[in-house]
Amino acid sequence: MKRPLKIAVAILLFIVFSLGSGFYYTVRTMNMAAEQNEDSVISNTDEFVKGGRRNILLLGMDAGTIGAKEENNRHRSDTIIVVSLDTQNKTVKVLSIPRDTRVKLGKYGIQKINAATALGGADLAVKTVKDFLGVPIHNYVVVKLSSFKNIVDALGGVEVDVKERMKYSDPAGGLYIDLYPGLQTLDGDKAEQFIRYRGYADADLGRIKAQQQFMEALIDKILKPSTLLKLPKIIDIVQENVETDIQPMEMMSLANFARQMKRENIKMYTVPGEGKNISGISYFIPYQNELDKVIDEVFYDDGSVKVTVLNGSGTSGVASKIASRLESQGFKVVSIGNADSFDYGTTTIVYPQDKKDEAEKVAKVLPKALLEEKSDSNISLPTVIVGKDMIDE
C-alpha cells in the first residue's frame, strides 16, 4: 500500500536554506556529494543562459510500496514544484503542479503526471514537465521525504494557523490525523498530519494550499537568527535524501543570488484547474487559458508593468505611437486595439482597484491623461484609451 508524505517542504528546504544565512552549509554538503558522484550525474535538463531565469524542478518522492525492497521500489513524485529564480529582479516564483494532473507520458500513454518518476525517473519527469508547461527546465532536485518529521523536530517545530478541524484515520497506511483549529507550534508528527490531510472541499488544491501555507511558515522559521545553530544538523538530514544535477560552481552562483533575496520577493502559484473522473480514474484537468496566463506571469514576467493601449481618437496609428512611447520607458504593452468608441477627447487611463500603483506609473509617462478606477471584469490591467488630445503629440 502507498503511504506518500504529501508535502513539498523537504524539497523547498533546498531553496529555503539558500535564502538564509545557512546557505554555505548547503554548498558545503552538496559540494561533497557532487565530488563523490560527479561522473554519475547525467541530466537531460536544459542549458542555463546567463542572465535569464533558472527553472529548477523539485520532486518530492512518496514512500513507494510499503514492504518492497528498495532496489525494486517505484517511487512516484508526490509533490511537483517548479521554482523559477529571476537573478536580475531578485525574485523567486514557486509553481505547484497537482500530482493527479492528466498528461501524456510518451510511450506510456495517458497518465497522472506523478507517474513519470516511477516509469522513467528524473529524466522522464523533467521532459514531462517541460512539455506540459512549455518552459525550459535547467536543473532538478529529487528528495525522499522520509526525514521530514526529523527536520521539523530539529527546527523546534513550526508555528502554523490550522484553519479547520482535521480528523482522519487509516490504520492500514499508518496514518492518524487529529488536529484542532488555531495557531499552534506543530512538531514533526503533527506537521506530517497537517500536510497529509486531504479532506478539503477542493480536494488536491486544498492540500496544495496547505503545503504553501506550511512553506511560508517554514521560511519564516528558518530565516530567524535563532535557527542558525540548528542548520548543520538539519542540512545533514536533508543532504542524505537529495539527488540533483546542480554542480558545485552553479551552487556558488545560487549562493550569491540567495544573499540578495528578500522574503517578500517569494511568490507562490498553483496550476489552475479542477478534478474530473475519466473512465473511473480521478484526474486533475488544467484550465488551459488560465494556465497560459500563470505561465506567462511565473516564467516570462520580467517585472515590467503590463498595459493595454486602445485607440479612442479615431485616428489611425495614434495608439501604436503611444504604445511605442510606453515600451521605450520599460512598460510591457500586451495588446493594442480600438476602444468602445472614437469620441474620447482626453486620453484616459482606466484601471482596476488593485492596479492603482501601476496606473500611476503609466500616468507619469502620460501626464495629461486622466486616471479613472473601474470595477469592470473586462479591465484587468491599466488600460490607456488614447484620446484626440494625443493626435498631434
Mean pLDDT of 46-65: 75
Higher pLDDT among residues 121 and 181, named by residue: 181
The predicted structure's pLDDT at residue 6: 31
pLDDT tens digits, residue range 300-313?
Answer: 877 778 899 999 99
pLDDT tens digits, residue range 357-369?
Answer: 899 999 999 999 9
What ranges in 23-115 are assigned the alpha helix state H?
23-37
Residue carrying C-alpha cell 503542479: 97
Burial (CB count within 10 angstroms: exposed 0-12, middle 13-18, buried 19+), residue 348: buried
The predicted structure's pLDDT at residue 255: 59
Whole-number Å distance between alpha carbons of 356 and 362: 10
Q: Quick check: 46 pLDDT over 50?
A: yes
The predicted structure's pLDDT at residue 68: 47
pLDDT tens digits, residue range 244-301?
Answer: 787 766 766 665 676 666 667 788 899 999 999 999 999 999 999 899 889 988 988 7
The helix (H) or strand (E) run that includes residue 140 is: strand 139-144
Contact 331, 307 (CB under 8 A): yes
The predicted structure's pLDDT at residue 252: 64
Higher pLDDT among residues 24 and 152, named by residue: 152
The predicted structure's pLDDT at residue 101: 94
Residue 299 is classified by DSSP as I
The predicted structure's pLDDT at residue 273: 93
The predicted structure's pLDDT at residue 1: 27
pLDDT band at 382 (very low <50, low <70, confident <90, very high): very high
Distances in whole angstroms, Cα of residue 355 to Cα of each of 82, 332, 361, 375, 383? 27, 14, 10, 11, 10
The helix (H) or strand (E) run that includes residue 268 is: strand 266-270
Q: Quick check: 11 pLDDT over 50?
A: no
Average pLDDT score, the chain? 79
Q: Is 51 helix (H, G, I), strand (E, B) or coil?
A: coil
Q: pLDDT exceeding 90 applies to what percent of the chain?
A: 34
E-assigned strand segments in 279-374: 281-286, 306-311, 332-338, 348-351, 370-373
Contact 12, 79 (CB under 8 A): no
Give the other-Cβ count within 10 Å of 229's Cβ.
Answer: 9
Whole-number Å distance between alpha carbons of 238 and 226: 19
The predicted structure's pLDDT at residue 23: 43
Higher pLDDT among residues 243 and 283, named by residue: 283
Which of 70-79, 215-224, 334-343, 381-390 is least confident?
70-79
Report residue 139: phi and psi, to 5°.
Answer: -155, 165
Q: pLDDT exceeding 70 applies to what percent of the chain?
A: 76
The predicted structure's pLDDT at residue 180: 96
Whole-number Å distance between alpha carbons of 326 and 323: 5
Which of 69-78, 124-133, 199-208, 346-355 is least confident?
69-78
Higher pLDDT among residues 22 and 353, named by residue: 353
Q: Quick check: 42 pLDDT over 50?
A: no
Contact 370, 343 (CB under 8 A): no
The predicted structure's pLDDT at residue 24: 42
Q: What angle do CA 68, 74, 77 make, to 5 degrees?
A: 130
pLDDT band at 73 (very low <50, low <70, confident <90, very high): low
Full strand arrangement of the beta sheet holding 139-144:
242-244, 139-144, 53-61, 77-86, 91-97, 266-270
